[in-house]
Chain A
Amino acid sequence: MSKPPETPSKGLAIDVSDVTVAYHDRPVLWDVDLEVPAGVLLAIAGPNGAGKTTLIKTILGLVKPAAGRVLIHGAPYREQRALTAYVPQRGSVDWDFPTQALDVVMMGTYGKLGWLRRPGAKQKEIATHCLERLGMADYRHRQISQLSGGQQQRVFLARALAQDAQVYLMDEPFQGVDATTERAIIDLLRDLRSQGRTVVVVHHDLQTIPEYFDWVTLINVRRIASGPVSTTFNQENLRRTYGGRVAFLSSRENGCAEKATALSDVQTPPGEKPGWMA
């Protein structure tokens, strides 16, 4: 489904059209369109290997699509780096690296700092403030390998926060964190939304989508559906995304959207591959 070209993005935070990503000529994302209005909390969901991480990476320019284009607030991502912030998967980094939590968060300020300037008091202040926001101020001088999984996740979030961006892209931030961290994260996300910022999150837990997010995008190599949770997160779409084996705990109380749990992936879509060179 394609849109007419040259339509201005009109308040769209993210505008993905016709994006196809292939790895060794095997499609990982095929002809994906996505319109994300500004100021929403969007979950991207789909089975393993559906291309969720690849989609995020493509939006950020970490992966080059074979076709299609991405606009962030109306301009190519290349020009909009200052507006976007990325929270990668926790496992993508070696946490034994010799550095403290505060140092990691300060990395978020490097983008605005420019080439030869050294981070100074101001950057430190920003970083400390962001750590405080995530409840990690006491740990700022802790070596990152000594942090728990949830704490590490919060450090990554603080780093993104330090960028003061308009659009946040997060890859599975809720994966493997404890309850306290989960609450802290959702707190932060709601805060960002209330400030008019846009947050896009790759999310693995279908159960919590209706509770945490207002928009959802279901993908499985192709875009299955995208829109507000109330209209989009339903049996039909989930079945199309997960290939039919979806069990339902349907609770239609007070107009809540149906809750769903995917049992397994029927299809075996091509596995996600690591990013290419930018």
Chain B
Amino acid sequence: MEIQIIAILAAAACALPGVFLVLRGMALMCDAISHVVLLGIVVMFFIVGDLTSPWLTVGAALTGLLTVVLVEALSRTGRVKRDAAIGLVFPALFSLAIILVSHNAGGVHLDTDAVLYGELAFAPFDRMIINGHDLGARALWGMGGVFLLNVALITVFFKELKLATFDAGLAASLGFAPALVHYGLMAIVSITAVEAFDAVGSILVVALMIAPAAAAWLLTDKLGHMLFVAVGLGVAGAISGSWVAQWTDGSIAGCMATMLGVIFGLVFLFAPTRGLAFIALRRRRQKVEFAGTMLTIHLLHHEDLAEAERENRIAHLGEHFRWNDHFAMTVVRGAERDALVTRSDDGSLALTSAGRDHALEVVAQ
């Protein structure tokens, strides 16, 4: 049960900054940061010697910011493009971390695999003990704390975040430094990644930040709604993921990531207005309508010309417009239904007066 709560908190905490990452097109920076925080954790661990010290969080957050700074610096030299810079910095730092872990961890269990997918199953065993009272899993407090922090920061800075995300120019001229917002956001992402990392590993952090937010954007336009929806979808993914994990006895993080993918897929396909299914239907309808309009204009142009006879035949349409027979029939029937054309027995078409008006209207635009 505690596992599920931790998972839910992780999902909610990640979805919030995730919305801004998705809106700003920084999804892959998130991938980079979530890997690199390991380096911060490891380095801090060597300094502090204690796996449960809060300094680890600080160190990791700093490493996250370091990544951003390095990527910026690298791309600003002009020698390396931005996307390449990301793909250079994070594997290098992550490799450093892995090597430090494998080579020096001696005695402390920092399993390199677990780095990637965490092990939620063990989280409940790591308790938070204050003054001898067992207050629950440490991860619970950590994740809960971060969630509340994110909610607080986003609420307080909502206006600034909104402005900086949608209109950086305006924000700058109004005196909010968009750069500050940028780094602030990266800091939040790092802190969240660090905390969630322990429980769910790098990869799931990426999934939790990006997938629910991207799906939320397909469902709504308003930033406030988007935040709520993203949290909701993330939590749904967390819950369903943990059920599937129980049922298949598989990796919790992996199942959660998979379920997030499934949820995203469903939204992508079936979202009202923006879902693929709706778009495809609407396109089809529009295509037929548009083709109908082209048909009326075509008939208009060829009316009263010598080759009207020939040009107005259905058969010729296929040749002129490159429609196959089936489509041509669909268009003609549609136009007939809309009372734009009439069809005579020998297969030639003629405009009705409504059809002529329609064509003239479009042509006059």
Is A53 in the interface zone, CB < 8 Å from B?
A: no
- B210-227 vs A, CB cutoff 8 Å, 1 = contact: the mask equals 000000000000000000
**Provided the pairs A4-B307, A67-B294, A67-B322 are in contact, do residues A25 and B302 lie with their beta carbons within 8 angstroms?**
no
Q: Does A22 sit within 8 A of B, measured CB to CB?
A: yes
Contact assessment for B321 and A67 in the assembled complex, using a CB-CB cutoff below 8 Å: yes
Tell me the bound Cα distance from A22 to B321 in angstroms. Answer: 13
Answer whether residue B287 sits at the interface, using C-beta atoms and an 8 A cutoff.
yes
A65's nearest neighbour on chain B, judged by CB, is B322
**Complex Cα gap A25–B293 (Å):** 11
Q: B125: CB under 8 A from chain A?
A: no
- Scoring B residues 282 to 311 as 1 if CB is less than 8 Å from chain A, else 0, what string do you get? 010011001000100110011001110001
Separation of A31 and B321 alpha carbons in the complex (Å)? 11
**Contacting pair B307 A1 (CB below 8 A):** no
Answer whether residue B109 sits at the interface, using C-beta atoms and an 8 A cutoff.
Answer: no
Q: Is A66 touching B302 in the complex (CB atoms < 8 A)?
A: no
Q: Mark A15-56, 1 if CB is under 8 A from B, else 0.
A: 000101010110000010000000000000000000000000
**A2 adjacent to B302 (CB under 8 Å):** yes
Expressed in whole angstroms, the Cα–Cα distance for A24 and B283 within the complex equals 8
User: When A and B form their complex, what is the total count of cross-chain residue pairs whose Cβ atoms lie within 8 Å?
Assistant: 29
Residues of A within 8 A of B326 (CB): none
Docked pose: A1 CA to B306 CA in angstroms:
14
Closest to B81 in A: A96
A174-215 to B contact mask, C-beta < 8 Å, 1/0: 000000000000000000000000000000000000000000
Instruction: Count A-side interface residues using an 8 Å CB cutoff.
Output: 14
Q: Does A5 have its Cβ within 8 Å of any Cβ on chain B?
A: yes
**From B287, B301, B322, B363, contact of A25 by CB (8 A):** B287
A18 cross-chain contacts in B, Cβ below 8 A: 298, 320
Closest to B293 in A: A27
Q: A22-B290, A31-B297 are in contact. Are A67 and B306 (CB under 8 A)?
A: no
CB-based contact B297/A25 at 8 Å: no
- Which residues does chain A contribute within 8 Å of B302, judged by CB atoms? 2
- Give the residue name and chain of the A residue nearest to B279 (CB): A24
Q: Chain B: which residue is nearest A69 at the CB level?
A: B320
Q: Which chain A residues lie closer than 8 Å to B320 at the CB level?
A: 18, 67-68
Q: How far is the CA of A67 from the CA of B327 in the complex (A)?
A: 14
**Those of B150-202 within 8 Å (CB) of chain A:** none
Q: A4, B306: Cβ atoms under 8 Å?
A: yes
A98–B305 alpha-carbon span in the complex (Å): 57
Using Cβ atoms and an 8 Å threshold, which residues of chain B touch A67? Answer: 294, 298, 320-322
CB of A1 within 8 A of CB of B290, answer no
A22 and B283 CA atoms in complex are apart in Å by 12
Near A by CB (< 8 A), chain B positions 308-365 give 311, 320-322, 363
In residues 60-74 of chain A, which contact B (Cβ within 8 Å)?
66-68
Which chain B residues border A2 with CB–CB below 8 Å? 301-302, 305
- How far, in Å, is B144 (CB) from chain A's closest CB? 46
Nearest Cβ on chain B to A23's Cβ, whole angstroms: 11
- Whether B290 lies near A25 (C-beta < 8 A) is yes
What is the minimal beta-carbon distance from A251 to any residue of chain B, in angstroms? 33
* Contacting residues, chain A, for B286 (C-beta < 8 A): 25
Partner of B321, one of A4, A24, A66, A222: A66
Known: A2-B305, A67-B320; 10 extra A-B contacts, CB below 8 A, are A1-B301, A2-B301, A2-B302, A5-B307, A5-B311, A18-B298, A25-B283, A67-B321, A67-B322, A68-B320
Listed by A's residue number, 7 A-B pairs whose Cβ atoms lie within 8 Å are A1-B301, A5-B307, A25-B283, A25-B286, A25-B290, A31-B297, A68-B320
A interface residue numbers (CB < 8 A to B): 1-2, 4-5, 18, 20, 22, 24-25, 31, 66-68, 222
